[in-house]
Amino acid sequence: MQGSPGKAIDYFFEGARLIVKPGFRRFILIPLLINLVIFVVVTIALFHAFGDFFTQIQAWSPTWLNWLTWLLWPLVGFVFLVVYGYSFNIITNFLAAPFFGLLAEKIETELTGTAPPDEPWGQLIPRTLQREAVKLWYFVSRGLLIFALFVVLFFIPGANLLGVLIGVIWSCWCMAVQYSDYPADNHQLSFRELRRKLNKQQLTSYSYGGIILLGSMVPVLNIFVTPIAVAGATLYWVREVKQL
């Protein structure tokens, strides 16, 4: 496997330092406001879903199995957090895609001195939303298969952790693809070709996605993770992915 987890960490933290510089702050204001609204809605939904899930499990389980229910709750809680981070990112990126594309463009221009091909807002917004729909279909269609596999493995003793691991790896890949797509889309690179390029640097790509997923699982911090993720992914694009 090619790539390096260390590079992924460097890209993320360098992206965090980059977006607070003068000239970039105005490009993250609207995405942060969108993130704030989504954070409130998704967090409330998570707490209700988590509580309802355990209420149903306890209602269905015989009394003598209640100890097993409480034994499983840390594992189920972790799964809910992964789903929370995954859902937060998917919804946020669908709504804020045009602004994240613009942020990626400005960062690339700052890094290289050359701007991606210019595009009027009237073309940019519908095209980026269409691109988000393509990504959403990719994530959801394959994600449902991963979820089905997870459900099957969850009820097999000793295999439930494997199901969680597969789900986490898939979520890491989705995060890497999602955020690397902004600079790639500015150059109108096909979604399939982007995935092929990212797969050539698997350790960097999966590690970068994992950092984003981890940050997205932490309430409040996840509000700020998405613009940082765009900046770090743009650095990754300029320095490595673009040349692959």
Ranges of the chain whose pLDDT falls below 50: none
pLDDT in tens, 84-110: 777 777 777 777 777 888 889 989 998
Burial class of 54 by CB neighbour count within 10 A (0 to 12, 13 to 18, 19+): middle
Q: How many CB atoms lie within 10 A of CB 182?
A: 27
pLDDT at 69: 60
Give the C-alpha separation, 122 to 198, whole Å: 30
pLDDT at 87: 75
3-state secondary structure 133-158: HHHHHHHHHHHHHHHHHHHHHHCCCC
- How many domains are there within the chain? 1
Tokens of 134: 């393509």
Query: What is residue 106's three-state secondary structure?
Result: helix
Print the domain residue range for 140.
Answer: 5-243
Tokens of 222: 């996840």
**156: Cβ contacts below 8 Å, ≥ 6 apart:** none
**238 neighbors 183 (Cβ within 8 angstroms):** yes
Give the C-alpha separation, 88 to 82, whole Å: 10
Give the C-alpha separation, 66 to 88, whole Å: 31
pLDDT in tens, 204-230: 999 999 999 888 888 778 788 888 999
pLDDT at 51: 67
The rounded Cα 145 to chain-centroid distance in angstroms is 18
- For the chain, what percentages of helix, strand and coil (3-state, to nearest 5) are there? 85, 0, 15
